[in-house]
Amino acid sequence: MIKGKILEKQIKNEYMYLKVEMNENIHIEPGQFLMLKNDMDKNMAKPFSIMSQDGKEIEFIIKIIGDFTKKLSQKNIHENIYLRGPYGHGFIEKIDKNKKYVLLGGGCGAAPLLHFEKNYPNMVENIKIGFKGSFVENVVPEYKLIFENIEKKTPIDWLKENDFENIISCGPKGMFKALKTMDKNSYVSLEENMGCGIGMCKGCPVKTINGIKMVCKDGPLFKLSEVIL
């Protein structure tokens, strides 16, 4: 287990921003995730993608939903959390490195996309992240955001107004279903309940045209045309 110290925390509505300093300098590729655990918490570790990494410092955007994230949100600055990983495959392993991509996100699905943009800016054609509220403008540049309750549009609506071909998306399954109806070269980063992060517990299966895959071990990025939603 890696020990992490909370350096910064912001909470607004149902979202939490965390900056954490790890006691080890591990490299996390955009798209990979960490399993987080509260100390002395009986709950199993939960998977979270990071938004950025600078040496030992990592950043998260987390939606407060359920007992685990509620307890996490109650931690104070300088308190510890525990992490293991990274797990999964980085986006860069799955995509065509000779193409540029539009990054399309919804809610906390912003995290791995922002991490990818930071690490591989030359492979990003554009980026749009949809949020219902405006809290994230404190940690995400506003030009990347769509405030759905204000603009009355979603990232999918924005995509329909623009002529882009290559997409990497992370967000709710409704976004993926809408994207599947469009003639695009799309990849989707899937989120499922996980227990172990390494494929042993079989808690994160996804149906594909090539059979059942595990999001943690085989993903989290998949070609949308191969996923059965």
DSSP state of 30: B
Category of 13 on φ-ψ map: left (φ > 0), alpha (ψ -120 to 50) or beta: left
**Tokens standing for 7?**
């350096």
Which residues contact residue 174 at a Cβ distance below 8 angstroms, ignoring those fewer than 6 apart? Answer: none
What is the longest distance spanned by two Cα atoms in the chain? 50
CB of 53 closer than 8 Å to CB of 11: no
Each residue's pLDDT tens digit, 195-211: 788 888 888 999 999 99
Query: Which class is domain 2-87?
Result: mainly beta
Indicate the pLDDT class of residue 40, thresholds 50, 70 and 90: low
Of residues 203 and 116, the one with the higher pLDDT is 116
Residue 133 in this model has a pLDDT that exceeds 70: no
Using alpha carbons, select from 164, 50, 21 the residue that is nearest to residue 116.
50
4 φ/ψ angles, rounded to the nearest 5 degrees = -125, 140
Domain ranges of the chain: 2-87, 91-226
Using alpha carbons, select from 68, 64, 56 the residue that is nearest to residue 19.
56
- Show the CA angle centred on residue 170, arms to residues 137 and 5, nearest 5°: 60
The runs of H, that is alpha helices, within 16-90 are 67-73
Please give the Cα distance from 219 to 54 (Å, whole number). Answer: 24
Residue 116 in this model has a pLDDT that exceeds 70: yes
Query: Is there a binding annotation on residue 216?
Result: yes
Category of 55 on φ-ψ map: left (φ > 0), alpha (ψ -120 to 50) or beta: left
Residue 206 is predicted with a pLDDT of 93
To the nearest whole number, what is the mean pLDDT of the chain? 88
CB of 100 closer than 8 Å to CB of 166: yes
Query: Is there a binding annotation on residue 201?
Result: yes
Indicate the pLDDT class of residue 141, thresholds 50, 70 and 90: low
- Give the other-Cβ count within 10 Å of 200's Cβ: 11
Each residue's pLDDT tens digit, 48-89: 999 999 999 999 988 898 888 999 999 999 999 999 999 999
Strand-pair category, 124-131 with 33-38: unpaired
Burial category of 140 from C-beta neighbours within 10 Å (exposed 0-12, middle 13-18, buried 19 and up): buried
Residue 146 is predicted with a pLDDT of 67
Query: Is there a binding annotation on residue 170?
Result: no
Residue 150 is predicted with a pLDDT of 62
**Tokens standing for 58?**
């990592």
Query: Is there a binding annotation on residue 108?
Result: no
**Tokens standing for 63?**
């939606």
CB of 180 closer than 8 Å to CB of 164: no
Could you say which of 1.10.10.10, 3.40.50.80, 3.40.109.10, 3.30.930.10 is the CATH number of the domain covering 91-226? 3.40.50.80
Amino acid, res. 26: I
